[in-house]
Structure 1
């Protein structure tokens, strides 16, 4: 049993608190609060991500020698987006959909017209620069285009009955008649891994349109149209040179179907948090620690199924290290955590917590440090 009266090594590995604080800032704030109470502890900051917003930043923080590669791409609403991809020293490129074709990049939601072309342009730029392996973080998309925009940027051609290029976005899928993949760039020699915490299929009641379409502004009628257009795309892909890609494959519905498009290209699906954690050395860090702290904006029933807190908790449990939780809100029983703090509860409400998240994250870190190892631990 750990003697918490002695200085300890603490791993602080939160996800971003989406829309309010990035993972690196969250880790620093929790660490500051903890150090204000237990200054002798050794704090190892390991900001995490699950394939969504902040994945690229997590790699940049953790991998020495990582280099941002600036690029301007065509955003999901056709406007220019100044962004970047990340070049790692081993020749791997990390490309993030959220900062190229993400929902935060558009002023008005456009469920039928938004597209993923910019994400594909960033992938193409990484390949052009010589990347031999790709890590593709696909959370936070603005579109439901089945990944067609991404594939167009990589060289595929989608045409209508008059042999004209279809419109980008889901709206164009309703007119697609032919797919030509002869000019499609190949997957790099080291492969392309899709990082995602989403396991939804492409189609149906659990698919990209039904589950995520409303978040992107789709009405009930538009959801039906989005799904119908994706179904048309899936039929054509099945008979094209892409070969058979199962639209029911777990993760095919991720990012509005970008998961499906990337699977058709030849990429492989990987659990986002697990792949990021392994790449960042989280298991090794946890194995050498006496305590772990993780967190995210909203801890709910899905948190244990592929999201950062569930992954980090599993790593800690495997080596018998106790784990603590900090979350913006805690909406389900945090089974397996020795102690937890909700920012909304500390601040007296969600609005107050979101107005100044770093302050409340620091307070949460301090409160956890004050009770570390106490009989109140579950």
Structure 2
């Protein structure tokens, strides 16, 4: 039996690598001679750097940057084996997980640290960039990122504006004369797992602002500010930005990357699957196991599980998803998932489930494959 294990992380609990190892252990208890191929996955959020460095070879670079509130922190990014490709997670510098609950405020948080990561990679000779933009704490349209790369924003009085989504309405003039000249020789590919436009009911502020600490009043202000900023960008760069799918990702960082770095936006899971040649691995497998921490209505919209499910459907391969909790599964069956299983085996709270996730995952996998063994023997 050839089994491909291609899971995402169980957020807040297990890395994709630990998930893959745990599933493998459960399989081998039942099928000790199984041929297991492990490909820990990511969809453009946290874990993208580790996944690509692990699969493609390379190294993790540690660097000091500013966090969303401009405090000094140690961050990281990856440089792949070719020494030319940098893999950056914006969350590593500008992510929501870097803030305590009372610190969340998209009116003042900035993507400046993300720009610092890009600059450091430029200094090390990288000219190809894969930027994962999930998990942001920001709503500044990428203005902070641009500032770190030399762009200046001025108000009507000719003074530079400050940081954060609350400052965008003050911008009157954009000056790119001092932007890092090396950018024009670079290729920027942006991995995002959402298709939201910059503004409106489905835009960055209204959909994601509340989880970043925005009140209802803040959401309205932030949306208007991003619209103002987006129109300035479209006028300055003479290109469509505001309604581009994904422009609203990471609080509008998608829009900023399109504008200032001429970046291309693509589904994160599609980028990762292409790089690790997942299609060939699915084709060569008898069975595929995937999973993530929670299966819900968002899963079908560009998440790891949905991307893998579609590949399995293409090649008529059975695909089992193992997850922490299940909110919605029926749509997954339509796109290629054969069955969905939760690791929860008794009534328990979230804290206990997350604490014991590794053990629960091994046990669940073993149970699933014991059933498979019976069916295989019966056949």
TM-score (norm 1): 0.93
Contact kept, 8 Å, 1:133 with 1:188, in 2: the verdict is: no
Greater mean alpha carbon deviation, residues 230-239 or residues 50-59: 230-239
Query: Of the candidates 189, 195, 209, which is equivalent to residue 205 of structure 2?
Result: 209
Deviation (angstroms), 1:309: 0.4
Does the residue aligned with 1:141 lie in a helix, a strand or coil? coil
Aligned to 1:4: none
Measured in 1, the distance between the counterparts of 2:305 and 2:8 equals 8
Aligned residues: 367
Query: Of the candidates 218, 225, 239, which is equivalent to residue 222 of structure 1?
Result: 218
Contact kept, 8 Å, 2:201 with 2:207, in 1: the verdict is: yes
2:286 is equivalent to residue 290 of structure 1: yes
Unaligned runs of 5+ residues in structure 2 are none
Aligned to 2:245: 250
Aligned to 1:238: 234
2:91 is equivalent to residue 95 of structure 1: no
Q: Which runs of 4+ in 1 moved over 3 A?
A: 186-190, 344-351, 373-376
Does the residue aligned with 2:195 lie in a helix, a strand or coil? coil
Deviation (angstroms), 1:365: 1.6
Aligned to 2:72: 80
Contact kept, 8 Å, 2:233 with 2:241, in 1: the verdict is: no
TM-score (norm 2): 0.93
Structure 1 residues 370 and 184: alpha-carbon distance in aligned structure 2, compared to 1, 3 A threshold: same
2:25 is equivalent to residue 29 of structure 1: no
Aligned to 2:61: 69
Aligned to 1:38: 31
Aligned to 2:355: 355
Deviation (angstroms), 1:111: 1.9
Which one has a larger percent helix, Structure 1 or Structure 2? 2
| CA offset digits 1:313-366 (Å, max 9, x no partner) | 111221221111011111122413223211235564544322221111212221
Q: How does 1:48-67 map to 2 (within 5 A)?
A: 48-64=41-57, 66-67=58-59
Contact kept, 8 Å, 1:339 with 1:368, in 2: the verdict is: no
Measured in 1, the distance between the counterparts of 2:134 and 2:118 equals 15
Contact kept, 8 Å, 2:24 with 2:36, in 1: the verdict is: yes
Contact kept, 8 Å, 2:106 with 2:140, in 1: the verdict is: no
Contact kept, 8 Å, 1:113 with 1:169, in 2: the verdict is: yes
Measured in 2, the distance between the counterparts of 1:181 and 1:374 equals 66
Does the residue aligned with 2:200 lie in a helix, a strand or coil? coil
Deviation (angstroms), 1:245: 3.2
Structure 1 residues 299 and 293: alpha-carbon distance in aligned structure 2, compared to 1, 3 A threshold: same
Structure 1 residues 270 and 187: alpha-carbon distance in aligned structure 2, compared to 1, 3 A threshold: farther
Contact kept, 8 Å, 1:14 with 1:27, in 2: the verdict is: yes
Structure 1 residues 370 and 348: alpha-carbon distance in aligned structure 2, compared to 1, 3 A threshold: farther
Q: How does 1:160-239 map to 2 (within 5 A)?
A: 160-185=155-180, 186-187=182-183, 189=185, 191-239=187-235
2:143 is equivalent to residue 155 of structure 1: no
Deviation (angstroms), 1:239: 2.3
Measured in 2, the distance between the counterparts of 1:338 and 1:159 equals 55
Unaligned runs of 5+ residues in structure 1 are 1-7
Measured in 2, the distance between the counterparts of 1:118 and 1:293 equals 36
